[in-house]
């Protein structure tokens, strides 16, 4: 039931782009994205609700394809500050208001 | 300052000794939840609460209890802790379900 995130880890040079995918075996109502830096609490990036919308947040954006039950997070022109672990959290349509997170994608941006 | 406050930040205890981790938010949020984080497993939801006196099980509720008697507080209770509950715990709150969640700073619990 846990959504599958890919890749598990990625190393980028500053300025490069990355895509992180989150895929579920169940129909989704919403997808949340968070970033967590080492030793800190997760920080909210964005939430996408059923409807296939795409959202943007500075150079970070995300899409939600409800038919494919997946979401993708796009990081463009990466900065050193983007380093951290990215988690997607999903709420399934029949799961009440329970949130299930993926195992995370470690992203490291080097100069 | 808007925040979610957890206490304690670190706790070492012995098997079977009841403990409570407190969580308080000052944003008048309705939705609160508890997560545990273990290496390689991400965040797993333990319990959540939609509002005062309304709680429900998350993905891994076994061995935990919660209560929501006031809107701002959502304590996590371990009646008889066991070593497999050694973990990093986060409390989070949001205005409603499916809105931006704010996390506390975490409680690192070790059960020996």
- Model pLDDT, residue A67: 87
The 10s digit of each residue's pLDDT in B72-111 is 999 999 999 999 999 999 999 999 888 889 999 999 999 9
The 10s digit of each residue's pLDDT in A60-85 is 999 998 888 999 999 999 999 999 99
Q: What is the CA radius of gyration of chain A?
A: 13
Handedness of CA B64, B59, A44, A92 (dihedral sign): negative
Mean pLDDT of chain B: 95
By CB neighbour count within 10 A (0-12 exposed, 13-18 middle, 19+ buried), where does A76 fall?
A: middle
DSSP secondary-structure letter at B99?
Answer: S
Q: How confident is the model at residue A52 (pLDDT cuts 50, 70, 90)?
A: low
List the A70-75 sheet strands across, edge first.
A4-6, A18-23, A70-75, A60-65, A54-57
CB pairs under 8 A between A and B: 58
Cβ atoms of B102 and B3 within 8 Å: the answer is yes
Compute the distance between CA of residue A33 and CA of residue A63 in angstroms, rounded to an integer: 11
Cβ atoms of A42 and A48 within 8 Å: the answer is no
Please tell me which residue of chain A has the smallest CA distance to B101: A44
- Model pLDDT, residue A99: 87
Tokens of A52: 């296939």
SS3 B37: strand
Mean pLDDT of chain A: 90
- Residues from chain A contacting residue B41 (CB–CB below 8 Å): 103
Compute the distance between CA of residue A15 and CA of residue A12 in angstroms, rounded to an integer: 8
CA distances from B112 to A87, B17, B83, B87 (A): 30, 10, 6, 12
Q: How confident is the model at residue A106 (pLDDT cuts 50, 70, 90)?
A: very high
Contact state of A97 with B40 under an 8 Å Cβ cutoff: no
What residues pair up with A65 in beta bridges, in sequence order? A70
Q: How confident is the model at residue A54 (pLDDT cuts 50, 70, 90)?
A: low
Contact state of B31 with A1 under an 8 Å Cβ cutoff: no
CA distances from B50 to A48, A66, A102, B63, B68 (A): 20, 25, 22, 21, 9
């Amino acid at each position: 039931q846990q959504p599958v995130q890919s890749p598990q880890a990625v190393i980028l040079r500053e300025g490069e782009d990355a895509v992180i995918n989150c895929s579920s075996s169940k129909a989704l109502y919403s997808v949340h994205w968070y970033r967590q830096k080492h030793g800190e609490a997760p920080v909210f990036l964005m939430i996408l609700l059923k409807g296939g919308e795409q959202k943007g947040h500075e150079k970070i954006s995300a899409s939600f394809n409800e038919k494919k039950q997946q979401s993708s997070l796009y990081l463009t022109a990466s900065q050193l500050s983007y380093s951290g672990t990215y988690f997607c959290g999903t709420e399934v349509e029949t799961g009440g208001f329970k949130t299930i997170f993926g195992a995370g994608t470690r992203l490291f941006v080097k100069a | 300052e808007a925040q979610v406050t957890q206490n304690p930040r670190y706790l070492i205890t012995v098997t079977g000794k009841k403990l409570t981790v407190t969580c308080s938010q000052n944003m008048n949020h309705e939705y609160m939840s508890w997560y545990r984080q273990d290496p390689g497993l991400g965040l797993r939801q333990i319990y959540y609460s939609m509002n005062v006196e309304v709680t429900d099980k998350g993905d891994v509720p076994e061995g935990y209890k919660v209560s929501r008697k006031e809107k701002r507080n959502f304590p996590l209770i371990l009646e008889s802790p066991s070593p497999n509950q050694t973990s990093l715990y986060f409390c989070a709150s949001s205005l409603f379900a499916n809105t931006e969640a704010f996390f506390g700073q975490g409680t690192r619990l070790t059960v020996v």
